[in-house]
Amino acid sequence: MQVANTRGAGRAQRIQASVAAAVACHLCPHVTPEFGVQILSTPFKPIGQRESTGTSRARAEVLTDDPTWRQDVFEWIASYWAAHGHGPTWGELRQEPSLWPDELPQHVRRFAIVLLGQGRYLDGTKTPFGLKARANDASAPPATANGHSRPRSNEVRS
DSSP states of 21-50: HHHH-TT-TT--HHHHHHHHHPPPEEPPTT
How many Cβ atoms from other residues are within 10 Å of residue 31's Cβ?
21
* Residue 35, number of CB atoms within 10 A of its CB: 15
Predicted local confidence at residue 52, as pLDDT: 60
* pTM, two decimal places: 0.73
Residues above pLDDT 70, as percent of the chain: 74
* Mean pLDDT, rounded, for 83-105: 92
Better-predicted residue by pLDDT, 87 or 40: 87
Q: Tally Cβ neighbours within 10 Å of residue 151.
A: 13
138 pLDDT more than 50: no
Taking CA atoms, 116 is separated from 6, 7, 98, 140, in Å, by: 28, 24, 17, 12
Please report the pLDDT score of residue 136 as a whole number: 62
Q: pLDDT value at position 134?
A: 87
Is 49's pLDDT higher than 70?
A: no
How much is the pLDDT for 6? 65
User: Per-residue pLDDT for 152 more than 60?
Assistant: no
Q: Report the pLDDT value the prediction gives residue 75, as an integer from 0 to 100.
A: 96
